[in-house]
């Protein structure tokens, strides 16, 4: 749960500024390409949508990779200083340390973080349900479609489109609908063109050629399948207004691309523009059906821009076009790479320990230390007196202390060398199993063969103590320092206070 919340927050909060940056760069690039063909604008916005999802997703995967994949433990040595300093920090009996998250991890207030996650998950669920509803509506449109009665004009137009586009004869089925006001295209494997019944009854060959030709272009470009992919990519970033802008630009440029191809291969631009005006007049009733997954001639509400694009189509010369495309590609890609590098990690703060519990634990530790000092006081006094009287005894004690300190450093150096995950990762693994405040964490091992050499059956592990939430007790978790698995978990009940 802890790792999933960290990943979702990292994706969500980095996406907030990264998507805005990508949309702004795409808008600048689209302006640079204003005199080029619509297909370049289309793929620019499609690339922007893919990057808007991929950039924060890559950052999130990097966080997941850092959490799961072992990291060289020498990072801790360089960050915390010498081995002896590390030994002093985690040696038994030392004061309880406070472990902070990585420097690049920003901690959010628990209420704020959980509220953001709840809203994000609710929006994702809403978008998924809307897509399912759109799919069901599309299936309903397909189910209600009827076969076209024998019509020479329609057959002639279909044959013309197949011949001009080079598609296989009778590879596309054309149906009619009593409810749809404009033509649409559906179908993943077996594409269908559904024409409004009123258009067929009108019998205008120019209108039929424009409508059927436009839908044939959608099929040739595989726009139905691609549109479904874009909708799936849009779901996790649908919370951002800039993502909605990118999605709208994709729909608009897709229709401009189809218009250009119809004017190039099937019908002259002036005749197609006239037909487009007449067909678009039937589009407003379709607006309530915009939750379908269909693609069609009335998808984009930019009739004026489409007409102007047909009647006035400036083209750049080839060298200038290539230079502009290269410049726009660099404009879009390089800042995205930099944006991934500047991303931050986010996590939810763990619950703060109850002040009364914290005060009780401090008091218990103080009383325990005082009792231990009193018990050892006679022995300590006798040792001091003997050391003052006997210089040889004092030298022997100092020599043993130095030897023990050296052995501890050798042992700790061996632990640092053998461990494959760092202390922050061990704490994160432990808190993913047991929520609460980390009271203590130390690196240790069992079954030593010699100082600094672990036996064949020895295990290097982290000992993590976590305060339980609510009951005042604690949980001791042993985390394998090689692969991050949980070796053992023990719960300690709260001590009863003496009356």
CATH number at residue 414: 3.10.450.40
- Tell me the CB-side half-sphere exposure of residue 410, using CA atoms within 13 A: 12
Distance CA 410, CA 75 (A): 18
Residues 386 and 272 in one domain: no
Task: Tell me the C-alpha to C-alpha distance, in Å, between residue 462 and each of 277, 375, 468.
Answer: 72, 31, 18
| 23-37, 152-166, 317-331, 474-488: range with highest mean pLDDT | 23-37
The answer to whether position 419 is within a domain reads yes
Number of domains making up the chain: 2
Does 338 score more than 70 pLDDT? yes
Residues 156 and 267 in one domain: yes
Residues 310 and 357 in one domain: no
Q: Do 427 and 441 meet the contact criterion of CB atoms below 8 Å apart?
A: yes
Distance CA 207, CA 202 (A): 9
Q: Do 431 and 2 meet the contact criterion of CB atoms below 8 Å apart?
A: yes
Residues 171 and 301 in one domain: yes
The answer to whether position 144 is within a domain reads yes
Distance CA 93, CA 273 (A): 84
The answer to whether position 141 is within a domain reads yes
Residues 274 and 187 in one domain: yes
Does 69 score more than 60 pLDDT? no
pLDDT the model gives residue 188: 83
Residues 359 and 311 in one domain: no
Residues 98 and 143 in one domain: no
Percentage of residues in the chain having pLDDT higher than 90: 22
Residues 136 and 91 in one domain: no
Domain final residue pick, 315, 339, 369: 315
Residues 305 and 361 in one domain: no
Average pLDDT, the chain: 79
The answer to whether position 396 is within a domain reads yes
The answer to whether position 332 is within a domain reads no
Residues 150 and 299 in one domain: yes
pLDDT (tens digit, 9 = 90+) per residue, 350-359?
544 445 555 5
For 454, the 3-state DSSP assignment is: strand
Percentage of residues in the chain having pLDDT higher than 70: 80
The answer to whether position 75 is within a domain reads no
For 498, the 3-state DSSP assignment is: coil
Residues 295 and 214 in one domain: yes
Q: What is the mean pLDDT of residues 200-219?
A: 88
The backbone torsions φ and ψ at residue 490, rounded to the nearest 5 degrees and listed phi first, read -130, 135
The answer to whether position 309 is within a domain reads yes
Domain range for 216: 122-315
Higher pLDDT, 32 or 373: 32
pLDDT (tens digit, 9 = 90+) per residue, 276-304?
888 876 655 444 444 567 777 777 778 88
pLDDT (tens digit, 9 = 90+) per residue, 239-255?
999 999 999 999 999 99
Identify which of 29, 55, 57 has the alpha carbon closest to the alpha carbon of residue 41: 29
Does 206 score more than 80 pLDDT? yes
Distance CA 399, CA 397 (A): 5
Domain final residue pick, 266, 294, 315: 315
CA 273 to chain centre: 43
Strand partners, 453: 450
Identify which of 452, 401, 412 has the alpha carbon closest to the alpha carbon of residue 87: 412
Beta strands in 24-104 (DSSP E): none
Does 97 score more than 50 pLDDT? no
The answer to whether position 26 is within a domain reads no
Does 349 score more than 80 pLDDT? no
Residues 94 and 128 in one domain: no
Task: Tell me the C-alpha to C-alpha distance, in Å, between residue 174 and each of 117, 199, 258.
Answer: 46, 13, 18
Q: Lowest mean pLDDT: which of 56-60, 66-70, 189-193, 376-380?
A: 66-70
Angle (CA) 329 331 336, round 5° = 95
DSSP characters over 239-255: TSHHHHHHHHHHHHHHH
Domain final residue pick, 297, 315, 333: 315
What global pTM score does this model have?
A: 0.66
């Amino acid at each position: 749960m802890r790792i999933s919340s960290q990943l979702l927050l990292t994706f969500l909060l980095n996406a907030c500024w990264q998507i805005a940056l990508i949309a702004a760069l795409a808008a600048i690039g689209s302006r640079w390409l204003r005199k080029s063909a619509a297909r370049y604008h289309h793929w620019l916005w499609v690339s922007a949508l893919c990057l808007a999802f991929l950039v924060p997703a890559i950052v999130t995967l990097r966080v997941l990779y850092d959490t799961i994949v072992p990291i060289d433990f020498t990072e801790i040595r360089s960050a915390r200083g010498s081995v002896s300093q590390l030994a002093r920090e985690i040696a038994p009996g030392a004061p309880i340390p406070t472990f902070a998250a990585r420097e690049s991890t920003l901690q959010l207030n628990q209420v704020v973080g959980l509220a953001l996650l709840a809203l994000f998950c609710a929006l994702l669920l809403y978008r998924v349900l809307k897509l399912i509803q759109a799919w069901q509506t599309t299936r309903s449109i397909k189910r209600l479609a009827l076969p076209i009665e024998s019509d020479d004009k329609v057959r002639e137009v279909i044959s013309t489109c197949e011949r001009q586009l080079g598609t296989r004869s009778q590879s596309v089925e054309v149906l009619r609908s009593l409810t749809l006001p404009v033509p649409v295209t559906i179908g993943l494997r077996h594409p269908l063109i559904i024409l409004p019944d009123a258009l067929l009854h009108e019998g205008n060959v120019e209108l039929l050629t424009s409508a059927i030709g436009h839908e044939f272009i959608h099929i040739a470009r595989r726009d139905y399948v691609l549109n479904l992919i874009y909708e799936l990519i849009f779901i996790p970033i649908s919370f951002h207004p800039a993502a909605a802008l990118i999605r709208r630009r994709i729909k608009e440029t897709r229709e401009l691309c189809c218009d250009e191809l119809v004017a190039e291969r099937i019908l002259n631009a002036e005749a197609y523009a006239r037909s487009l005006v007449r067909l678009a007049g039937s589009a407003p009733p379709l607006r309530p059906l915009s939750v379908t997954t269909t693609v069609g001639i009335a998808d984009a509400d930019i009739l004026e821009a489409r007409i102007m694009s047909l009647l006035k189509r400036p083209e750049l010369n080839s060298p200038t076009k290539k230079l502009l495309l290269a410049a726009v590609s660099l404009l879009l890609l390089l800042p995205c790479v930099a944006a991934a590098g500047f991303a931050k990690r986010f996590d939810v703060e763990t619950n703060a320990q109850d002040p009364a519990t914290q005060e009780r634990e401090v008091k218990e530790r103080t009383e325990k230390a005082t009792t231990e000092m009193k018990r050892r006081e006679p022995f300590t006094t006798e040792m001091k007196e003997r050391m003052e009287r006997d210089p040889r005894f004092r030298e022997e004690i100092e020599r043993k202390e130095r030897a023990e300190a050296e052995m501890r450093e050798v042992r700790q150096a061996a632990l640092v060398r053998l461990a494959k995950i760092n202390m922050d990762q061990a704490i994160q693994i432990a808190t993913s199993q047991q929520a609460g405040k980390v009271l203590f964490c130390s690196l240790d091992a069992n079954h030593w063969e010699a100082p600094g050499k672990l036996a064949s059956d020895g295990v290097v592990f982290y000992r993590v103590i976590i305060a339980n939430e609510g009951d005042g007790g604690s949980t001791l978790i042993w985390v394998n320092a090689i692969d991050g698995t949980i070796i053992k978990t023990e719960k300690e009940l709260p001590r009863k206070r003496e009356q």
